């Protein structure tokens, strides 16, 4: 079961990277184009933190199941998770469209950058057993 958790954690990282990139690109494009805050922008801003939640829970479950030393990216993942949620919450609470795009672009972008820097790129693209 431990290897299954690790394999699922490995696969979900691609969903994190794709959803984060999509959210960042939608927010950046909306900011540069001075467009309106569309339902697709709202969905992209909500999906990224949810996928990241799943990834962090899987990572913590893997860590507790395997009992290795704390992986170096664990604290970075929690910080990235907080930034992703902060961007989504701030975009939800603010009134102006420009500020919504700025919050999501900045905080989701920094979150994604932190994840990309701390990601274990040596892990196989698709896990094997």
pLDDT digits over 79-97, tens only? 999 999 999 999 999 999 9
Euclidean distance between CA atoms 116 and 105, whole angstroms: 16
Number of domains in the chain: 1
Q: Residue 126: inside a domain, yes or no?
A: no
Domain residues for 26? 2-118
Q: Residue 125: inside a domain, yes or no?
A: no
Q: Residue 11: inside a domain, yes or no?
A: yes
pLDDT at 127 exceeding the cut of 80 = no
Q: How is residue 35 written in tokens?
A: 């467009």
Query: What is the SS3 assignment for 128?
Result: coil
pLDDT band per the 50, 70, 90 thresholds, residue 70: low
Q: What is the DSSP string of 29-94?
A: HHHHHT----HHHHHHHHHHHHHHHHHHHHHHHHHHHH--SPPTTHHHHHHHHHHHHHHHHHHHH-
**Global pTM?**
0.88
């Amino acid at each position: 079961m431990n290897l299954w958790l690790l394999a699922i954690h490995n696969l979900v990282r691609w969903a994190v990277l794709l959803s984060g990139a999509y959210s960042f690109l939608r927010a950046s494009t909306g900011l540069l184009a001075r467009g309106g805050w569309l339902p697709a922008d709202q969905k992209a801003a909500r999906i990224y933190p949810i996928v990241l939640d799943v990834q962090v829970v899987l990572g913590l479950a893997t860590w507790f199941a395997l009992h290795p030393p704390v992986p170096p990216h664990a604290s970075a993942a929690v910080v990235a998770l907080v930034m992703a949620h902060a961007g989504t919450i701030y975009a939800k609470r603010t009134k102006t469209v420009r500020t919504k795009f700025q919050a999501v672009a900045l905080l989701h972008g920094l979150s994604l950058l932190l994840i990309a820097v701390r990601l274990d790129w040596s892990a196989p693209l698709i896990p094997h057993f």
